[in-house]
Amino acid sequence: MNIESMYQEIILDHYKNPHGRGLRDPYDAESFQVNPTCGDEVTLRVAVEQDRIGDVSYEGQGCSISQASTSVLTDLVTGRSVDEALTTMDAFVEMVQGRGKVEPDEDVLEDGVAFAGVAKYPARVKCALLGWMAFKDAVSRVEGAAR
Amino acid sequence: MTTTVAPLDVETIRKDFPILSRTVHGDRPLVYLDNAATSQKPRQVLDAIVRYYETSNANVHRGVHSLAEEATALYEGARDKVAAFVNAPSRDEVVFTKNSSEAMNLVARVLGEAGPGYRVGAGDEIVITEMEHHSNIVPWHQLAERTGATLKWFRITDEGRLDLSDLDSVITERTKIVSMVHVSNLLGTINPVERVIARAREVGALVLLDASQSVPHMPVDVAALGADFVAFTGHKMLGPTGIGVLWGRLPLLQELPPFLGGGEMIAAVTMERSTYAEPPHKFEAGTPPIAEAVGLGAAVDYLTAVGMPAIAAHEHGLTEYVLEALSSVEGVRIVGPPTAQDRVAEVSFTFGDIHPHDVGQLLDAQGVAVRVGHHCARPAVLRYGIPATTRASFYLYNTRAEVDALVAGLAQVRKVFG
């Protein structure tokens, strides 16, 4: 397959001009995730207001895939209900873990569909999921605290 | 190089390596520059393994039938070949392990359980360096945790050399073991191990050398080096995975306790107790990697036939060429010594602010295989204030044209990231 299908313009745009980057207050939970095989890392904060995702802020270092996917994440989940955000996350995870066999729904994943090509590069799937794992962890901490 | 050796006939050598003629991503010729991770295998090694399984396969040291005799002769013959290859004074000093990591774990483990003379205990000191592979760090962390010993280390300089300015204060009367890398897998540095060994001798400390990146690439004479243990691995020297070597001085191997227990490593077993075999079998519990040893023996034959001085000279020329080529690429920063002196053909670098994973992926798209990441030497990578590097590492079958392919590949990477 053509490498350009992984390094799409959308990904490079998010990498060079990330959305929502920088750690901000207030927040309800924070998660730090690291990929031990490559050292990519992200620290992500989530604020939840009445069951809706408020601000999502993050800092990180790593490859274009890990950083751009976290930038896309902020666009996809901010302002959504927690349930909607988690459904979107599941769709993203399903796509990048689908070994190229999952047809992504652009209505759900928007810019996220640019990461469909990553699915064919198993070594990079973890990169694409790094920020999402931080998001999942942070949300579960918020929900855990609420219970 | 002070000795004159005939240049390698690289085109002929390449024909011995079937994998080098394959393509990747469609019709891209493979440019394999990840030899520090593992080397490719010549037909001679592959044939030896297949021939062993097709004609002589049996377990070793425990049968009287023809196949068992043949398998044993092949396995022990491989030990003879390895012993000769590194100039071991005795074949019994060559212990087959799974890899270098296991060889070094073996030493770290048995030193914690040794008799009073060699035992590492509370108050004793273990010395390593900041440029070690994790396989020569973690076992010592574990030993220190088990015993209460203290871990110390030599630092590295901005240029990627070992900083031995504090040699006498790092290695002291308390030092029991110094374990260090002969050639760095991250930086390519050839370390002045003789200085460290001389200091260790003064204080009566043992020395273990991680020779994983030296034995495949240059003549190594364990008798002349003067260390107590030398570890290396088969798959980085044209052999198969699954077999490594621990060379150790015979009196030490005789005195130290065994590592793993099981078949083959015993003298006699009753329900009450076991007594142990002599080295090297004392350290080779269970059915060994027989076919792998046969393959390693064939690899040693291959390297010997080509000639280690000629291989070292060829790679020295590649080192000079790649250092010059990369330093002319805008944005490349070499992590490691900037000249080819006391350096092997493994070059780590950063490329502007483009992450090594992206560099590696885009090089791969052009057929150029490199390693990216921290190369299992995370402390050294962090020492240079970076999270990762891209590393191109060469071997006897690599050419200057492949260096040029790497440089052309980097231009493409630059294009994508602008």
Question: A139 vs A23, A41, A144, B306, CA distance in Å?
Answer: 16, 18, 8, 61
Answer yes or no: B73 catalytic. no
CATH code: domain A3-146 is 3.90.1010.10
DSSP SS3 for B229: strand
pLDDT of B324 strictly over 80: yes
Characterize the bridge pairing of strands B23-24 and B28-29. antiparallel
- Numbers of helices and strands, H then E, in chain B: 14, 17
Q: What is the mean pLDDT of residues B135-140?
A: 98
Tell me if A39 and B388 make a contact (CB, 8 A cut-off). yes
| Residue A1 in this model has a pLDDT that exceeds 70 | no
Is B357 close to A39, i.e. CB distance below 8 A?
A: no
Confidence of residue B1 (pLDDT cuts 50, 70, 90): very low
- Dig out the tokens for A34 from the structure: 């690291």
Contacts of B374 in chain A (CB under 8 A): 38-39
Residue of B nearest to A8 (CA): B416
A64 inside 8 A of chain B by CB: yes
- Chain A residues inside the 8 Å CB shell of B353: none
Q: Which residues contact B301 (CB under 8 A, 6 or more apart)?
A: B44, B81
Residue B336: count other Cβ atoms within 10 Å of its Cβ: 25
pTM over 0.90: yes
Q: Strand B389-393 and strand B371-373: pairing?
A: antiparallel
**Catalytic one of B177, B218, B376, B403:** B376
- How is residue B388 written in tokens? 């990762």
Q: Are B206 and B126 in contact (CB under 8 A)?
A: no
pLDDT of residue A4: 61
Name residue, tokens 């995702």.
A53
Domains of chain B in sequence order: 10-38+307-417 (3.90.1150.10), 46-304 (3.40.640.10)
Q: How confident is the model at residue A6 (pLDDT cuts 50, 70, 90)?
A: confident
Inter-chain CB pairs, A–B, below 8 Å: 48
Confidence of residue A44 (pLDDT cuts 50, 70, 90): very high
Indicate yes or no: CB of A12 within 8 angstroms of CB of B365.
Answer: no
- Mean pLDDT, rounded, of chain B: 96
Percent of chain B with pLDDT over 70: 99
Cβ-based contacts of B365 with chain A (< 8 Å) = 2-3
Residue B328 has pLDDT above 50, yes or no: yes
Token pair for B356: 């090594």
Angle, alpha carbons B139-B140-B141 (nearest 5°): 90
Closest C-alpha among B119, B122, B101 to residue B110: B119
Domain chopping of chain A, boundaries: 3-146
pLDDT reading at B3 higher than 80: no
Contacts of B169 (CB under 8 A, 6+ apart): none
The residue in chain B having the minimum alpha-carbon distance to the alpha carbon of residue A37 is B373
E strand or H helix at B314, and its extent?
helix B308-327
pLDDT score for A37:
74
Distance of CA B93 to the CA centre of its chain: 18
